[in-house]
Structure 1
């Protein structure tokens, strides 16, 4: 399969891969990625071929600096598997992530572009990991009024990542961890400096999240999430309130995940209310079958209810991680 990627950017990526040794002493470089493609019907009732999830290729490097200190590099490029093009014309080549940082007993600090603290952790509370355009309740209703970086994609809004960011992930203490993201750098349109914080609790049976963020335009997002696991079965839910330019969006989701290898079953529900009016409700079902540790087949469907219509969306696809 031929993949068309911008020539200059691809040459830079190749040069980087050539010039960083795959292994040298206590350092290592990994090439990884996730590819997804399927056939689906969208909310416009159009049949399409393309990624139902997101495809990416990444270069990551780790160097052991001694005394528990490590250096980390991550570069992640996202693209459309049906055409090989960049994910969107207005997004940077390393749209997924471009960070450099250090980790140690203090936790981890990274600088660059990455998911902000809220978007980074919310995926734990959705059966589709906030990663499926047809079936994921999170994808369809969360953070409706909260672009993490209003100018993050060449002066277009970014819904997830923060440019020029500083990110801190604390070590886990008795299951609790603190996650922060922000930036001291703003553009001429900014009203304040962005900051997001998440308190996360995780053990083998229960996970919980409290998060709050404000972007550079003063838009805010507050979220509560929970997940309980009983052997093969996980139940989860979230409540998200996002505010933008005087408008308030409230999103509630519930989900079910059942894993018994090689089969995973999923079910979800979500509702979005904006300024007191119901804007969308979604009921979704899906399942996947692991052909191997890296490759899986899946089928998903959703019933979407809008104020003026209802639409059934569905899709089947294949994904491979490496």
Structure 2
């Protein structure tokens, strides 16, 4: 074998080893739909949060891995970033960390421990006009203008290994000022214990936001046949303003061609009436990565007129 052949063989072997030890992938969601609400014109919008992301892992040996994730959000109907560029480019997720037998630790920006698990207990998964707002009510983890409301920036995130179906997730942010919001008195934090075992899933979470509001979330789901039944209760205590008590019930029912989704929720500020919402939807599966959806929701505020909204759209993952 000549020297060139030997060199090529060595390079191929090294490339194979590098590929086995390191992996980087591109992923995303493109979702566009038509939305019509009471008293508004027909609009082109989205049912889910459109995203373009990069994630990767490197095997460091002895079960230890280095991981990263960068995720941006955009509006496909206009090609612009969310919130007219007021949010960071990688506002979805932006972190680097390590994982192993001890669990996983991440540094940067991500969804809080409570917010990350909450969408599993909304039959619409926080997507489309059917999403039941009562699962979090008017609570926001981060109230700065650059936040999407359910993330911490400048934070550390830790997840334990899953043990007998249980996992504990903790998020703690620094006190440093962010996007015009002054330094906070206490570190924002979020703690959630999640259980998944057989037909039952549950989550108990508690959080203190960047402006020191507190949020308690109790959630559960149970699979009966093809139906996943869900219920959620939350308590939102404001430092300044009126507290809230919120709840929802719903179901995600698998059918041969997709899924039927139904839910009802209430947002109840103390000392006043409830905002009530009914939602119904059908999501039709075209493939593992593509589905069509149509939903209708009826929102009746404690004071004011009922707003009925309907959408139809297409959702594609890659």
TM over 0.5, shorter chain: yes
What is the CA distance between 1:172 and its match in structure 2?
1.1
SS at match of 1:277: coil
What is the CA distance between 1:57 and its match in structure 2?
0.7
Instruction: Say whether 1:204 aligns with 2:194.
Output: no
| Residue of 67, 74, 82 corresponding to 1:79 | 74
Deviations for 1:69-90, whole angstroms, at most 9, x for unmatched residues? 1111100010011101001121
| Residue of 104, 124, 128 corresponding to 1:128 | 124
What is the CA distance between 1:199 and its match in structure 2?
0.9
Instruction: Say whether 1:52 aligns with 2:60.
Output: no
**1:221–1:243 CA contact under 8 A, matched in 2:** yes
Counterpart CA distance in 1 for 2:148 and 2:44 is: 24
**2:175–2:183 CA contact under 8 A, matched in 1:** no
| Residue of 125, 135, 159 corresponding to 2:149 | 159
Residue in 2 that maps onto 1:15: none
Residue in 1 that maps onto 2:140: 147
**1:192–1:215 CA contact under 8 A, matched in 2:** no
SS at match of 1:159: coil
What is the CA distance between 1:192 and its match in structure 2?
1.0
What is the CA distance between 1:275 and its match in structure 2?
1.9
Instruction: Say whether 1:32 aligns with 2:27.
Output: yes
Runs of 4+ in 1 over 6 A off after TM superposition: none
**2:23–2:56 CA contact under 8 A, matched in 1:** yes
Counterpart CA distance in 2 for 1:41 and 1:107 is: 45
| Residue of 235, 241, 253 corresponding to 2:235 | 241
What is the CA distance between 1:303 and its match in structure 2?
1.2
What is the CA distance between 1:279 and its match in structure 2?
4.2
Counterpart CA distance in 1 for 2:220 and 2:22 is: 37
Instruction: Say whether 1:303 aligns with 2:293.
Output: no
Residue in 2 that maps onto 1:109: 105
Deviations for 1:81-139, whole angstroms, at most 9, x for unmatched residues? 1101001121111110001011111111001000001100001101111223x1111xx
TM-score when scaled to structure 1? Answer: 0.88
Counterpart CA distance in 2 for 1:120 and 1:31 is: 21
What is the CA distance between 1:25 and its match in structure 2?
3.9
What is the CA distance between 1:43 and its match in structure 2?
5.4
SS at match of 1:24: helix
| Residue of 308, 318, 322 corresponding to 2:314 | 318
Deviations for 1:263-289, whole angstroms, at most 9, x for unmatched residues? 111000011011232341111100111
Which has the larger displacement, 269-278 or 40-49? 40-49
Name stretches of at least 5 consecutive residues in structure 2 with no aligned partner. Answer: 1-17
Counterpart CA distance in 2 for 1:276 and 1:71 is: 50
**1:261–1:290 CA contact under 8 A, matched in 2:** no
**1:214–1:221 CA contact under 8 A, matched in 2:** yes
Counterpart CA distance in 2 for 1:68 and 1:53 is: 35
Counterpart CA distance in 1 for 2:121 and 2:130 is: 14
**1:129–1:136 CA contact under 8 A, matched in 2:** yes
Instruction: Say whether 1:281 aligns with 2:276.
Output: yes
Counterpart CA distance in 1 for 2:140 and 2:297 is: 25
Aligned residue pairs total 295
Residue in 2 that maps onto 1:11: none
Instruction: Say whether 1:220 aligns with 2:210.
Output: no
Residue in 1 that maps onto 2:184: 190
Deviations for 1:257-316, whole angstroms, at most 9, x for unmatched residues? 111343111000011011232341111100111111111111100111112111211010
SS at match of 2:82: coil
